[in-house]
Structure 1
């Protein structure tokens, strides 16, 4: 097992364990390594300071490692108060609306055109579908953070 300190494009720092360095490289190459805070998949290894014993000293005599001054957040708690608010907002929307899955674009367009009654919905749309909805004036917004089933 190997532990890496990672950093996403948004600047969040977190730690994660991998079976091996090759396992990390494979997962990262497939964009399966995601930020534990925001879900972004643009993740890179951050600078780490491993303990290195002085020449001539045995490993058991090596001084205690100096902690790196950048704290890493617990994976179970938000690193920033805004993250907790965004999580609450997502939970509220999911509780007060109907999940329509991959039919989101079709359902949102039908409501906008008046073909079906309006109701609060949430679901999934690819980039092209979302762009088309926005260009047609359909009021949509992305939910913050990754869907729970896609968070690692």
Structure 2
């Protein structure tokens, strides 16, 4: 199993596990690898040095590779953003293409009050705002639209 360090064109960094380097290249060429944060398939492999645990056989501690100072902060921020999105998805009802209609029904007390999410056009979102119905666009990464494995 090969564990590769990857990044997308938006500088989101993540790991990918592949049976071989050839399998990674195959999936990359078919656009099957997507960023778990923004869902772009414009992904590249980060340079990494192979790590051999030879010193552990002699009882010595293996040196850890140095990481850029910003990497832990960026990773923590990405993790918080994904956690927020997961919680938002868990606590809202997906009404899909009926979002504008359902938001109006809730606003005018024609349907039970609840937190909803869905899809609407920019024009419909603007019309909802003009009616005094609070809406907020929130792009959900494709990785979070399906159950995580």
Instruction: Return the offset for 1:6.
Output: 0.9
**Residue 116 (structure 2) aligned to one of 104, 112, 121:** 121
Q: 1:103-143 CA distances to partner (integer Å, 9 max, x unpaired)?
A: x23x122145x4x33442124x4xxx544544655634225
Instruction: Return the offset for 1:33.
Output: 1.3
Partner of 1:61: none
After superposition, residues 97-108 of structure 1 pair within 5 angstroms as 97-100=92-95, 104-105=96-97, 107-108=98-99
Distance 1:142 1:82 in 2: 16
SS in 2 for 1:79: helix
Distance 2:84 2:124 in 1: 22
Corresponding position: 1:141 with 2:132 = no
Partner of 1:62: none
In structure 2, stretches of 5+ residues that fail to align are: 52-61, 108-113, 130-134
Q: Is the 8 A contact 1:90 1:143 kept in 2?
A: no
SS in 2 for 1:14: strand
Partner of 1:70: 67
Distance 1:151 1:44 in 2: 23
Instruction: Return the offset for 1:87.
Output: 3.6
Q: Is the 8 A contact 1:111 1:117 kept in 2?
A: yes
**Residue 93 (structure 1) aligned to one of 84, 88, 101:** 88
Partner of 1:110: 101
C-alpha spacing 1:92/1:150, structure 2 compared with 1 (3 Å): closer
